[in-house]
Amino acid sequence: MVLPHFRAGEPVVSLGTMEPPETQREVLHGLVWEELPTLIYGPGGIGKSIVALNLMNALHTGRDVAGLKAHQGNCLYLDWETSQSQTWWRNKEILQANGDDLDVWPDPEYPESDRTKMLYYRFMSGPLVNDVKYLQKKIRQLGIRTVCIDSAGPACGGEPENAAATLKFFKALRQIGDSEHPLQAIILAHVTHEGRKSGKSSPFGSVYWINIPRNVFELQSSQRDGSNHSDFALHHTKSNTGPIREAIGMRLTWDQGCTVEYMDIHKNSELVGGLSMPKQAKIHIDKKGEPMSLEELADLINPTSVRSLSASLSGSENFVSKNGEDGKSVWDYIEPLGVEEDVKH
């Protein structure tokens, strides 16, 4: 039945005659929206896979993660970068930290499945488009709601800069679900070489890696040698589902498993680079405990953007310029009256 449907495609429908569908919701608060693709990008080796594994396990089990509300739905990890054994041990660490076992976790909607609280997994090698028919079948058999693509480059055949290859990938991603069983996806991607050098990063490859996902996040990390934890920030860089959200901070700790906790990135100077200039200026002024000159702030934020920083601070009602003790102009931050900043999600 899959092949004829695959060839025929979806029928034309009259929207006005449909029963009103349920409103689209955030299945992982502030990060993953129902039936839509989310892309997370960052340099190689900073921990995209382990962060994604924690997010996917939260969705699979319905357990909140780093203060983010998760709605349960079976999850499938499509892996082009690591191995089945490595993913098994990583997933076991996550379950161990949460006190979960590896026993079969019966699925009332799919009683013949062998679901556990570990993710469903598939080792991948060729482009996603080569496996559409097989994945369509397995996704229906297992009731999969979210897939993770790790990662974008090999998933599109190793040519992420090629527009045609990128579009084939997104077509295949839609085809492994359908209108009755649409999927949401977390797609992991690397950054451009130019972005790594300039600090203005974006997903490596075709512009469609930004244009097609409904939400895009840049992952930054802060890691210290010898420490048992790593801090991460997810900066929301593009949204087609509403306003840009505040950055999401999380700390992953390895101690009798892998735990994930909410972290206030405003307290980690290495992770604030993705914030707006005024927000970064506030953090530095608060840290110093006194007003700062434009030049001091620019040195900490972006030495090449003194003019842009000046315009950003002048345009904010929360910053004032005044004379310092030496008579030179300095900038200070004024808290809004009666407003407390909510940084937790």
How does DSSP classify residue 108? T
Based on the fold, state whether residues 228 and 260 are members of the same structural domain: yes
Based on the fold, state whether residues 238 and 100 are members of the same structural domain: yes
CATH of the domain at 72: 3.40.50.300
Q: Which tens digits make up the pLDDT trace of 1-54? A: 444 544 567 889 999 999 998 888 999 999 999 999 999 999 999 999 999 999
Percent of the chain past pLDDT 70, that is, above it, reads 93
Q: Which tens digits make up the pLDDT trace of 115-173? A: 999 999 999 999 999 999 999 999 999 999 999 999 999 999 999 999 999 999 999 99
Percent of the chain past pLDDT 90, that is, above it, reads 68
Based on the fold, state whether residues 145 and 249 are members of the same structural domain: yes
String of DSSP letters for 208-243: HHHHSSSEEEEEEEEE-TT-SEEEEEEEEEEESSSS
Mean pLDDT across the chain: 89
Phi and psi, residue 20, nearest 5°: -55, 125
- The answer on pLDDT for 199 being more than 60 is no
Phi and psi, residue 137, nearest 5°: -65, -50
Q: What burial letters (b/e) apply to 71-102, b meaning 16+ CB within 10 Å?
A: bebbbbbbbbbeeeeebeebbebbbebbebee
The more confidently predicted of residues 29 and 195 is 29
Based on the fold, state whether residues 132 and 169 are members of the same structural domain: yes
Q: Quick one: tokens of 304?
A: 């090449």
Range of the domain at 78: 24-273
* pLDDT confidence band for 344 (50 / 70 / 90): very low
Q: Which tens digits make up the pLDDT trace of 244-297? A: 898 999 999 998 899 999 999 887 878 887 777 888 888 888 888 999 999 999
Based on the fold, state whether residues 127 and 87 are members of the same structural domain: yes
